[in-house]
Amino acid sequence: MQGSNSPFMSDINVTPLVDVMLVLLIIFMVTAPMMMQGVHVSLPQTTSKPLPAEQEHLIITVDGSRQIYINDYKVALDALEAKLKKIYEGHPDQKVYLRADKNVPYGIVVRVMSEVKGAGVKKLGMVTEPQEKIKKKQ
């Protein structure tokens, strides 16, 4: 009965706090690498002027039926990275431009961009139509 006459216990039980903190630490350690992955591309403004072409560039096209082409040659998405690696063996500084139909889902375009980046391409540009052409078509 000694406990009934004593004042309240003032010690804090930190075990549940430590358990929660360790679980959060593990969650952040697992998810942090996933957040760092991403495709970083600066999309050009549609009102910008065309860049001067000093050399021939590689153009990857995704048409409305989701077919992928390297210049004029049809390529499967699974084989895109391997083909680009072969091309880049002789030309490591070559730039790549991506043209995609506006009706192609965003996920397909991102997958193509991921394959291009996986092949070691450092400079990936996006091809758009100037705003004047868009207005004339409507």
pLDDT digits (tens, 9 = 90+) for 97-109: 888 887 888 888 8
41-78 pLDDT, tens digit each: 333 345 555 555 556 678 888 887 888 888 878 888 88
pLDDT at residue number 25: 92
pTM beyond 0.85, yes or no: no
Tell me how far apart the alpha carbons of residues 116 and 122 are, in angstroms, rounded to a whole number.
9
Of the chain, the percentage scoring pLDDT greater than 90 comes to 7
Tell me how far apart the alpha carbons of residues 79 and 63 are, in angstroms, rounded to a whole number.
17
pLDDT at residue number 5: 67
State the DSSP code for 43. Answer: P
Tell me how far apart the alpha carbons of residues 63 and 67 are, in angstroms, rounded to a whole number.
6
Look up residue 44 and give its amino acid. P
Residue ranges of domains in the chain, CATH in brackets: 2-35 (no CATH), 58-128 (3.30.420.270)
Q: Are 68 and 105 in contact (CB under 8 A)?
A: no
